Amino acid sequence: MKHPRAHIFQHTPDSLREWCAEQGWPAFRARQILEWVYAKGEINPGAMTNLSSREREELARSMAFLSGDTLAHQRASDGTQKLLIQWSDEPAPDAAPHPLKILHPEHDPARQTECVMIPSESRRTACISSQVGCPVGCRFCASGLGGLDGNLSAGRIIEQVWRLSRLPEVGRITNVVFMGMGEPLSNFGPVMHAVRTLASDWGLGISARKITISTVGLPKAIERLAVELDLPVTLALSLHAPNDELRRRLIPWAEYTTVAELLDACQQWFRKTGREITLEYILLGGVNDQPEHARQLAKIARTIRANINLIRYNEVDGLPYRRPETGDVHAFQEILRENAVNAHIRASRGRDISAACGQLRHEKSITGTEAASPHTAT
């Protein structure tokens, strides 16, 4: 069996120094290699001119720099860019106990994830995936239609941000949101590893305050996050319903916890970190967007230090949910504000390129077509 190559984005300075020592190289080579990859954006060992020719050859032979192929690169009219990545079949070193299932060697949805770059005047936000598919199975979401196919390693999580930073007209990524495919807190170790690399000076140098981890709500994992992660990240709770009955209809995992238990975990988060919670609320036309839902949500939000992001649903082929009416969205927000709740309507971005979670992978899988002009961002 072929031994998998090490993945550069998996490494920390300590682990890369150990790897260099195994090759008989001086310890400072690790710092030089990481500078090439992160500070200079270079993944071609042949261009790393402060390494010897023999070292460059060995690095190219022994180290994987990109762990997958870009199957599709789409750009929306608003500047949003989206990548569909198919990962290699090499085992991901820290992705157990859910290794990727290999079903077909070509264009296999069980090995594909999406990531999105969302531009604004002052920000370049990377929306990234933590798993292939999703175990939660929200009724309205394309990400979990096929269930969970595997966890992503820390290296593959970081690689998404690096790839997005190398797309045309992007440059430095300023913000990262774990709001792509998967439930980040059910892939806890790799996500924590990735967050530390993204925020480190030797890595991508993104302020931890500009990194958001979004969860459907795992109380024990939220409490663990508050204790173990020594970085001031933002926590976002995907609530999507203001009561247990409706939430359980929309989110299968809600059977295992209650809104009250989630609120308690969020209160503990605030007490331990001093960081407000963001409540994410996807508005589904005629389902959870009525005035009574807004009043219930306001009551919940006032029990914790939180702000609310209202998100208009992006339709998914084959699912029965529809986008809410504009008037209903603004009326919902107004009720929240009348009840002294800080609520914002999040702008819809990338609708013309299926930018919502899992949509591109879902559409490619049901059509069986290849994306036009696939290429790797380098």
Query: Which residues participate in catalysis according to the annotation?
Result: 114, 357
Among candidate residues 358, 369, 368, the one with its CA nearest the CA of residue 82: 358
Q: Phi, psi at residue 22, to the nearest 5°?
A: -65, -30
What are the C-alpha distances in Å from 327 to residues 286, 317, 349?
A: 12, 24, 19
Among candidate residues 224, 199, 222, the one with its CA nearest the CA of residue 210: 199
Q: Under a CB-based contact definition with an 8 Å cutoff, are residues 248 and 254 in contact?
A: yes
The pair of structure tokens assigned to 342 is 């800080």
Q: What angle do CA 316, 353, 237 make, to 5 degrees?
A: 60
Peptide bond into 93 cis (omega under 30): no
171 C-beta neighbours (distance < 10 Å), count: 12
Q: Where would I find the H helices in the chain? A: 13-22, 28-34, 53-62, 154-165, 188-199, 219-228, 244-250, 259-273, 291-301, 326-338, 359-367
d(CA 199, CA 229): 12
Among candidate residues 29, 27, 21, 30, the one with its CA nearest the CA of residue 52: 29
Among candidate residues 238, 135, 181, the one with its CA nearest the CA of residue 361: 181
d(CA 195, CA 30): 20
d(CA 17, CA 227): 29
Residues β-bridged to residue 73:
83
